[in-house]
Amino acid sequence: MEIPSTHPRIKSLKLRQKLVDGLRDGIVDPAGLIAHGRGEAFDYLLGEKTTDEAQKAIKAAIYALQHAANPVISVNGNSAALTSKEIIELSNILDAKIEVNLFHKSSEREKKIKQKLLDAGATKVYGVGVDASERIPALESNRRKVDPRGIHASDAILVMLEDGDRTEALTALGKKVLAIDLNPLSRTAQKADISIVDNISRALPELIKAAREKPKPTRYNNKKNLKQTIDKMRAGI
Amino acid sequence: MEIPSTHPRIKSLKLRQKLVDGLRDGIVDPAGLIAHGRGEAFDYLLGEKTTDEAQKAIKAAIYALQHAANPVISVNGNSAALTSKEIIELSNILDAKIEVNLFHKSSEREKKIKQKLLDAGATKVYGVGVDASERIPALESNRRKVDPRGIHASDAILVMLEDGDRTEALTALGKKVLAIDLNPLSRTAQKADISIVDNISRALPELIKAAREKPKPTRYNNKKNLKQTIDKMRAGI
């Protein structure tokens, strides 16, 4: 579909088109379109901008990833469709592994996502097929299957568009969870160690920028940061 | 997909699954999935409950439909995928016609929606193919095509997940528009005569209940009701 470049909602429409293309290519699950729509509504309430609170969370998340022994970036269909290149760039700067982990698991889709990441320049992609031979305890969904050299061995994980169950299970294992989630009320946002409430298409470039600048340690309070974000959204209704 | 019955978001996930099935069956458009996701976010802010304000609007809407000469229920892909049976039950109680009307018009999808409604027990479905031979003036989208014996002749129309353009065009024709829309800020919610801000999967059973009870006329102020709903959402963030 041709979107006129002057369209006031050009950015939002382009993201949608990437997801619809991803659906056609077998990268995105239909449920991913629903999740995206949900995020759009929260983004609208934020004024579709990266807030100061998100910037603080981004810096704190990068500090945690840069000081982790085994940082991992967890990728699903939507994040692969929207930000493959940025994910790879970030993983290179952070020396972080990339692992595919899907809520709506399908070996076909896993492989396609892996291929998309490889095509975009990834040198290694974890967690696909038989590589996901370990299990996260206390998790019933298919997301429990993880790579023993990836998420299973990690101490800090960047997750995007995540389900709350897995976030809880990962934090219960003592792993630091850094989440990008537009819904500040979600279990993921509430349970993660650091919650970046932002659109991933804006957050990833900011994460890359922060990773290059190597932020110093700062005091960061996730509960307080979320509360301030929620106040901003409340003003947006 | 098997959703674990213990999942805290089981209801929401089941609705998603119905839409995904609808996409596979050619009933739902990909854009319908994104629209559903946007609605989910607003539903989240309502606590995923039918509010007192929605109950008031439901009773007022049923009163209007029961006192209309030619009530019509307008059906699109999402509402057919989620609530076909309830739509038919409501149409039987109200003696209201059912008409298919799509934003992303496709004769293939129209036919499939009609068939789904017939399979679910509808005796007659309006507005499909050459039956949509009338036009709503001042409307550019394909939704302008309506059935002369259905929406065109109606005096009260129940719409769900509607676009603002058509809501405005229908009210401009002097038709009473009763809308179910989770976004209280949408043009549909703002322009409809009665706006039920609720998830259609909860609102339809409540509409059926109200139709059986035959509500008495009450004072109803849509602007005030919407304002109270917005206040509730604000408190829900």
3-state secondary structure chain A: CCCCCCCCCHHHHHHHHHHHHHHHCCCCCHHHHHHHHHHHHHHHHCCCCCCHHHHHHHHHHHHHHHCCCCEEEEECHHHHHHHHHHHHHHHHHHCCEEEECCCCCCHHHHHHHHHHHHHCCCCCCECCHHHCCEECCCCCCHHHEECCCCHHHCCEEEEECCCHHHHHHHHHCCCEEEEECCCCCCHHHHHCCEEECCCHHHHHHHHHHHHHHCCCCCCCCHHHHHHHHHHHHHHHC
Q: How far is B57 from chain A (nearest CA, A)?
A: 21
Give the count of beta carbons closer than 10 Å to the beta carbon of residue A215.
15
The pLDDT value recorded for residue A4 is: 63
Q: How far is B22 from chain A (nearest CA, A)?
A: 10
The pLDDT value recorded for residue A187 is: 92
Q: Is the Cβ pair B37, A42 closer than 8 Å?
A: no
CB B126 within 8 Å of CB B147: yes
The pLDDT value recorded for residue A7 is: 61
Give the count of beta carbons closer than 10 Å to the beta carbon of residue B212.
11
What is the distance between the alpha carbons of residues A57 and A153, in angstroms, rounded to a whole number? 24
Closest C-alpha among A132, A107, A12, A58 to residue B38: A12
The pLDDT value recorded for residue B117 is: 98
Write the CA distances from A155 to A174, A180, A233, B137, integer angstroms.
Answer: 8, 17, 32, 62
The pLDDT value recorded for residue B96 is: 98
Burial of A24 (0-12, 13-18, 19+ CB in 10 A): exposed
The pLDDT value recorded for residue B155 is: 98
Q: Between β-strands A145-146 and A134-135, what pairing exists: parallel, antiparallel or unpaired?
A: antiparallel
Cβ-based contacts under 8 A for chains A and B: 85
Out of A20, A37, A45, closest to residue B35 by CB: A37
- Residue of B11, B24, B25, B34 for testing the chain A interface, max A β-carbons within 10 Å: B34
Residues 129-188 of A with CB under 8 A from B: 140-141, 164-165, 183-185, 187
What is the distance between the alpha carbons of residues B228 and A190, in angstroms, rounded to a whole number? 27
% residues pLDDT > 70 (chain A)? 96
Q: How many residues belong to chain B?
A: 237
What is the distance between the alpha carbons of residues A150 and A147, in angstroms, rounded to a whole number? 5
Residue A8 confidence (pLDDT) above 70: no
Using an 8 Å CB-CB cutoff, list chain A residues near B43. none
Give the count of beta carbons closer than 10 Å to the beta carbon of residue A21.
13
A190 touches chain B (CB under 8 A): no
Give the count of beta carbons closer than 10 Å to the beta carbon of residue B31.
16
Angle at which helix B222-236 crosses helix B30-45, to 10 degrees, equals 80
Q: A103 phi and psi, to 5 degrees?
A: -75, -50
A31 touches chain B (CB under 8 A): yes
Determine the residue type at A163: D
Closest C-alpha among B163, B157, B145 to residue B105: B145
Q: B98 phi and psi, to 5 degrees?
A: -115, 125
Write the CA distances from A186 to A98, A123, B29, integer angstroms.
Answer: 24, 33, 27
Out of A41, A187, A234, closest to residue B41 by CB: A41
Q: What is the DSSP string of chain B?
A: -PPPTT-TTHHHHHHHHHHHHHHHTTSS-HHHHHHHHHHHHHHHHTTSS--HHHHHHHHHHHHHHHT-SSEEEEE-HHHHHHHHHHHHHHHHHHT-EEEE--SS--HHHHHHHHHHHHHTT-S--BS-GGG--EE-TT--SGGGEE-TTTGGG-SEEEEES--HHHHHHHHHTT-EEEEE-S-TTSHHHHHSSEEE-S-HHHHHHHHHHHHHH-PPP----HHHHHHHHHHHHHHH-
The pLDDT value recorded for residue B229 is: 96
pLDDT in tens, A28-87: 999 899 999 999 999 988 989 999 999 999 999 999 999 999 999 999 999 999 999 999
Residue A116 confidence (pLDDT) above 70: yes
Tell me the average pLDDT across A160-175.
Answer: 90
Angle of CA points A17, A18, A23, to nearest 5°: 95
Kindly report whether the global pTM for this prediction surpasses the value 0.90.
no
Q: Is the Cβ pair B30, A34 closer than 8 Å?
A: no
What is the distance between the alpha carbons of residues A30 and A35, in angstroms, rounded to a whole number? 9
Domains (ranges, CATH) in chain B?
52-236 (3.40.50.12640)
Give the count of beta carbons closer than 10 Å to the beta carbon of residue B161.
25
Q: For chain A, give the mean pLDDT.
A: 92
User: Please, which residues have CB within 8 angstroms of residue A18's CB and are 6 or more apart in sequence?
Assistant: A81, A82
Angle at which helix B77-94 crosses helix B30-45, to 10 degrees, equals 70
Per-residue pLDDT of chain B (237 residues; tens, 9 = 90+): 566 677 667 888 899 999 999 999 999 999 899 999 999 999 989 999 999 999 999 999 999 999 999 999 999 999 999 999 999 999 999 999 999 999 877 899 999 999 999 999 999 999 999 999 998 887 777 778 999 999 999 999 999 988 888 899 999 999 999 999 999 988 899 999 999 999 999 999 999 999 999 999 989 999 999 999 999 998 888
